[in-house]
Structure 1
Amino acid sequence: MRRRQVLIGVGAAVAVGGLAGSLRDESETTNLEGDAPTLAAAGSPETICAAEPEVDPGIYAIDEPAFGTDWKGHAVGDRYANDGRMGENWTVIGIERDGDARAYPVPVLWYHEIVNDEFGGPVLITYCQICRSGLVARRQVDGSPTRFEVSGQLWEPPREYTSASVARDRVRGVAERGGESVRIFNSGNLVLLDRTTGSFWSQLLARAICGPASGDRLSIVPTTIATWGEWRTEHPGGEVLLPPPHSGTVE
């Protein structure tokens, strides 16, 4: 299903319990049980693996992220903030590594959906605006770093797989404002494309569903969902992602 054919996410809502908190870390990229092509065909559209592994021509992953302690002093377009400033109630997805901290504002992820970053190793930050799902993982396939792009495809996993992914804290429902976990909608979901193998990956499942990497899953990185105000108070010396053009994209 091409992204531009979808006007609004439609599907079963999967409840996510709890508020701001941390995700578990998983040490390796491993195979899930079951056959990936069979899983792909069990979702919608069932023909997802017949699609060409192409990059979306209108949604550009952030490939060269830049950071600051705030957006003050940086020219920011109206697309991201009307007054050029971050709102205290904006939701951020935060990562901590060896005493350092980085925040990724959801209003930026809303437009770009993927950030390829280096922070304690290669890391991948993703957000699907249709499903309201956020996921952070190690940016590695078969043990080697890779980069991900937005494929332009949408794929709805079988509901039981999404429920299991939520139950295992592999993916979290993320609101644009308020810093709260929200319900994930099991609907047309972001499909990522990795540059190394050309495989399709389900964002909700953190798992490759088509291509040479089929069946592999990404290792989840511990993250925190909070408001910008909360995060900045807890991490006054931390960094926050700057939107393009300060950060470079794959365009």
Structure 2
Amino acid sequence: MRLSLIIGFLILFLSEILKVYFIMPFPGSQQADTIDLAYFIHQYIGYFRAIGLLILIYPLWKSFSNGSKLTKFVLGGFTLLWLGVIYMFNFQLTADHMFYQPKNKTFTNGKDSKIAKDKLVIGVVHNGQAKAYPIQLIGYHHQVIDTVGGTPMMITYCTVCRTGRVYLPFVNGKFEQFRLVGMDHFNAMFEDQTTGSWWQQATGEAITGKLKGLNLPSVSSEQMSLSAWLQIHPNSLVMQPDPEFKEQYAGLKNYDSGKGKSNLTTRDSLSWKPKSWVIGILMGKTAKAYDWNQLVKDQIIYDTLEKSNIVVVLENDKKSFHAFKSESPFGPLKLVLKNNQLIDSQSDAVWNMDGKCIAGKYEGSSLPKIEAYQEFWHSWKTFQPNTLVMQ
């Protein structure tokens, strides 16, 4: 009977704890490939509870009927402790009870915005409409469902990976609702309402569940300071703080500059450390990482990817970056950075930071943009394991 009590309580306690442990940033929980086990426990937690209780029913009844006061006290304590664990690990320590969606989603023009111009934003342009989402806000919410240019979009951000991504929230052509369920390898993870599959924020891929292997359609986005964004898109709308979450936003006040409140979100100023910043580019089948410190030093990096000449450029504010193919409709260019503009040394044509040629031989043309992300090195190399590195 004692063995039955031990086994029953172990099943009840371990299933509740492991259900959360594997998908939250507890010590040792994020390094191993345990996502399928975590999903199995999550999906069948009801069965684990039923099995544990069935094993316990008879020995508990016998113990409370004939056991000593000490036995009754100890078993009663374990039962209450289990109920406490259920409450803590289902209503206090779960991701969607720690991070909530905005209740008051408000946008305004740049002139009336309450967001400081030096704050970082994730910017999206679609069907002629531009919108900016301050990282300080979406970093807390993790995801914001919005409409840009008449199209529903899912703007996401993971502060532990420093990854901003935008997706169309459609699965097999059908609009889908998502909730933050936890994290895997330190990256935010969402659960779709229809099938309960889990989706990785950094890649938009369903990593476990019925839809495993599917990808959400991605949307091009750019990260830069609000000032730089409004310089390019003066008519952009800017997301405003929800008064309901003033305290939570304050916790991310210094996040933009790499000064997080915990080691999970704080930048390492040295290069190529887990918490170092990199610029990650995925072009064709090639992924490559560029050292942020090198970009700050040189402001422009030249490289060749997928047989194309490219440039990675940092604006004078030392925050806003861009990546372009260094080519025109008439052939390759030799671009140099001067006065926050790109100049072709062969023709003196001038491009602005949106990649538009504003003067010279190629006026009216645009440099092909390349999707580029600023994120922690540990994140980029985890989700792009075959990445190249520019030293």
- TM category (shorter chain) comes to 0.5 to 0.7
Choose from 135, 147, 150 the match for 2:165: 135
Residue type at the aligned position of 2:194: T
Against the structure 1 CA distance between its residues 63 and 123, is the aligned structure 2 distance closer, same or farther, given a 3 Å change threshold?
farther
- Distance in 2 separating the partners of 1:228 and 1:51: 43
- Indicate whether 1:101 and 2:130 are aligned: yes
Against the structure 1 CA distance between its residues 198 and 128, is the aligned structure 2 distance closer, same or farther, given a 3 Å change threshold?
same
Matched residue pairs, number? Answer: 173
Against the structure 1 CA distance between its residues 209 and 90, is the aligned structure 2 distance closer, same or farther, given a 3 Å change threshold?
same
- Distance in 2 separating the partners of 1:72 and 1:144: 36
Choose from 220, 237, 250 the match for 1:239: 237
Against the structure 1 CA distance between its residues 59 and 246, is the aligned structure 2 distance closer, same or farther, given a 3 Å change threshold?
closer
Residue 202 of structure 1 is matched in structure 2 by 200
Per-residue CA deviation, residues 42-67 of structure 1 (Å, 9 max, x unaligned), is: 73455232253786211113477321
Residue type at the aligned position of 2:105: P
Against the structure 1 CA distance between its residues 232 and 55, is the aligned structure 2 distance closer, same or farther, given a 3 Å change threshold?
same
Residue 26 of structure 2 is matched in structure 1 by 5
Structure 2 residue ranges without an equivalent (≥5) = 1-21, 44-93, 246-391
Moved more, 59-68 or 101-110: 59-68
Q: Relative contact order, CA 8 A, sep 6+: which one is greater? A: 1
Residue type at the aligned position of 1:94: G
SS in structure 2 at match of 1:125 = strand
- Distance in 1 separating the partners of 2:112 and 2:27: 36
SS in structure 2 at match of 1:104 = strand
Structure 1 residue 245, shift from structure 2 partner: 4.0
Asked if 2 retains the 8 angstrom alpha-carbon contact of 1:71 and 1:86, the reply is no
- Indicate whether 1:155 and 2:184 are aligned: yes
- Distance in 2 separating the partners of 1:113 and 1:51: 24
SS in structure 1 at match of 2:97 = coil
Per-residue CA deviation, residues 212-231 of structure 1 (Å, 9 max, x unaligned), is: 22111011101121110011
Choose from 27, 34, 38 the match for 1:48: 38
Asked if 2 retains the 8 angstrom alpha-carbon contact of 1:191 and 1:202, the reply is yes
Residue type at the aligned position of 1:65: K
SS in structure 2 at match of 1:150 = strand
Against the structure 1 CA distance between its residues 231 and 137, is the aligned structure 2 distance closer, same or farther, given a 3 Å change threshold?
same
Residue 58 of structure 1 is matched in structure 2 by 98
- Indicate whether 1:118 and 2:147 are aligned: yes
Asked if 2 retains the 8 angstrom alpha-carbon contact of 1:200 and 1:210, the reply is yes
- Distance in 1 separating the partners of 2:24 and 2:130: 33
Per-residue CA deviation, residues 135-165 of structure 1 (Å, 9 max, x unaligned), is: 11111011111122211x2112xxxxxxxxx
Choose from 48, 69, 72 the match for 2:109: 69
Structure 1 residue 125, shift from structure 2 partner: 0.7
Against the structure 1 CA distance between its residues 234 and 217, is the aligned structure 2 distance closer, same or farther, given a 3 Å change threshold?
same
Choose from 185, 189, 192 the match for 2:190: 192
Shift >3 Å, 4+ stretches: 62-65, 70-73
- Distance in 1 separating the partners of 2:165 and 2:111: 24
Asked if 2 retains the 8 angstrom alpha-carbon contact of 1:61 and 1:150, the reply is no
- Indicate whether 1:219 and 2:217 are aligned: yes
- Alpha-carbon RMSD across the aligned residues, in angstroms, is 2.9
SS in structure 1 at match of 2:42 = coil
Per-residue CA deviation, residues 175-219 of structure 1 (Å, 9 max, x unaligned), is: xxxxxxxxxxxxx11011112222110112211112222111011
Asked if 2 retains the 8 angstrom alpha-carbon contact of 1:60 and 1:149, the reply is no
Against the structure 1 CA distance between its residues 51 and 134, is the aligned structure 2 distance closer, same or farther, given a 3 Å change threshold?
farther
- Distance in 1 separating the partners of 2:195 and 2:111: 36
Against the structure 1 CA distance between its residues 227 and 44, is the aligned structure 2 distance closer, same or farther, given a 3 Å change threshold?
farther
Asked if 2 retains the 8 angstrom alpha-carbon contact of 1:147 and 1:195, the reply is yes
Against the structure 1 CA distance between its residues 223 and 63, is the aligned structure 2 distance closer, same or farther, given a 3 Å change threshold?
farther
Structure 1 residue ranges without an equivalent (≥5) = 12-41, 74-84, 157-187
Asked if 1 retains the 8 angstrom alpha-carbon contact of 2:35 and 2:208, the reply is no
- Distance in 1 separating the partners of 2:189 and 2:176: 16
Per-residue CA deviation, residues 71-130 of structure 1 (Å, 9 max, x unaligned), is: 847xxxxxxxxxxx4222211111112221000110001111101112231211111110
Against the structure 1 CA distance between its residues 136 and 219, is the aligned structure 2 distance closer, same or farther, given a 3 Å change threshold?
same
